[in-house]
Amino acid sequence: MTQPSRLAIVPFVSVDSMMRLVLTIGVERFLTELAGYIEEDFRRWELFDKTPRVASHSHDGVIELMPTSDGQLYGFKYVNGHPKNMREGRQTVTAFGVLADVGSGYPMLLSEMTILTALRTAATSAVAAKYLARKDARAMAIIGNGAQSEFQAMAFKALLGIDRLRLYDIDRSASEKCARNLAGLGLDITICTSGQEAVEGVDIITTVTADKQYATILTDNMVGGGVHINAVGGDCPGKTELHKDILLRSDIFVEFPPQTRIEGEIQQLAPDHPVTELWKVMTDKAIGRTNAKQITLFDSVGFATEDFSALRYVRDQLQKTGLYEELDLLADPDEPRDLFGMLLRAES
């Protein structure tokens, strides 16, 4: 067998490499540095090619492609969302992604993104909260204690100094798993028996449940003045978590309006209901929180630039850590036009 040439090789970050990368860097440092990349890309928002993700919906879930480019690099993520999967021993969300060089079109990185998506979603939520939550926020409720939940908790601890967590899930064993995984990491954790109990006295409410329907995880009476809501789970047409009345009392912040209007909590509102783009708050083009009584809502659906930032961050860690494999991904004949000749010579 002939050895692949250098041009044939693309660095590949497997699930195992990703886990070792996160643990080598440290979860909180990884989240903090990743948040820096995400924020940096939000600040150069106008540079990016932006399009709502390409979604293929089916009865049980959705498969999506999420592309973007800053003119130098191109990235895309393949991701699914299948709430029923968990009951069959599979992940609700799995993903992988590619970063490529715009100049040559050659991929520069192929990476697992199931773990990376959980990290980037949590880092994005925490970046948004840094701008929108009250500065004295220390207590957070997390409703929905599945795969994403611990990542959310750790990002809010690392970036905002959250030290009290109140957990609720319709399946208590999910809350117990979440509390067990976070034990000893500097969070004071209470498992609650209802959503109502979980939100008592908190400054931030994170909803991160999975259900393929219009759910009502939070009703209007559960949300007091001054709270910041980080609504993560409602991210598909027909899939929301908040009662509409909460939206009408909140100042709403979004990633990319054309995508959020279709997928986010605001699909329940009129298409021209005012929302503020997060990048504008970060670049002082719009105002975030103005007072301690205001309810702020980050209507998170997940946007392609966040995955682009995450791939960029991972790429920048590879040479330092060596935590990747070399994948023979690109055909590279000695003479570029002799692709068929290369195929024939492989026989000998």
Ligand X SMILES: NC(=O)c1ccc[n+]([C@@H]2O[C@H](COP(=O)([O-])OP(=O)(O)OC[C@H]3O[C@@H](n4cnc5c(N)ncnc54)[C@H](O)[C@@H]3O)[C@@H](O)[C@H]2O)c1
- Candidates 123, 210, 246, 252; binder of ligand X (CB under 6 A) is 210
CB of 293 to ligand X, least distance (A): 26
Residue 169 sits in the site that holds ligand X (CB under 6 A): yes
Q: Select 208 or 252, whichever has its Cβ closest to ligand X.
A: 208
Closer residue to ligand X, CB minimum distance, 12 or 151: 151
Q: How far is the CB of 304 from ligand X (least distance, A)?
A: 11
Residue 131: CB atoms within 10 A of its CB come to 18
301 binds ligand X (CB under 6 A): yes
In the complex with ligand X, which residue's Cβ is closer, 4 or 244? 244
170 binding ligand X? (CB under 6 A): yes
Q: Taking CB under 6 A as the rule, does residue 111 contact ligand X?
A: no
Q: Is 121 in the site for ligand X (CB under 6 A)?
A: yes
Residue 162 touches ligand X, criterion: CB under 6 A: no
Tokens of 7: 């041009």
For residue 68, state whether it binds ligand X (rule: CB under 6 A): no
Q: Rule CB under 6 A: say whether 141 interacts with ligand X.
A: no
Q: Which stretch binds ligand X (CB under 6 A): 20-28, 127-135, 196-204, 209-217?
A: 209-217
Phi-psi region of 133 (alpha: psi -120 to 50; beta: other; left: phi over 0): beta
208 contacts ligand X (rule: CB under 6 A): yes
Select the residue interacting with ligand X from 68, 148, 240, 305 (CB under 6 A).
148
Indicate whether 145 belongs to the interface with ligand X (CB under 6 A). yes
**Smallest distance, ligand X to C-beta of residue 194, A:** 9
Q: How many residues line the site for ligand X (CB under 6 A)? A: 29
The answer to whether residue 220 is catalytic is no
List residues near ligand X by CB under 6 A: 81, 86, 92-93, 117, 121, 143-148, 168-171, 174, 208-211, 215, 217, 232-233, 235, 300-302
Catalytically active residues, by annotation: 235
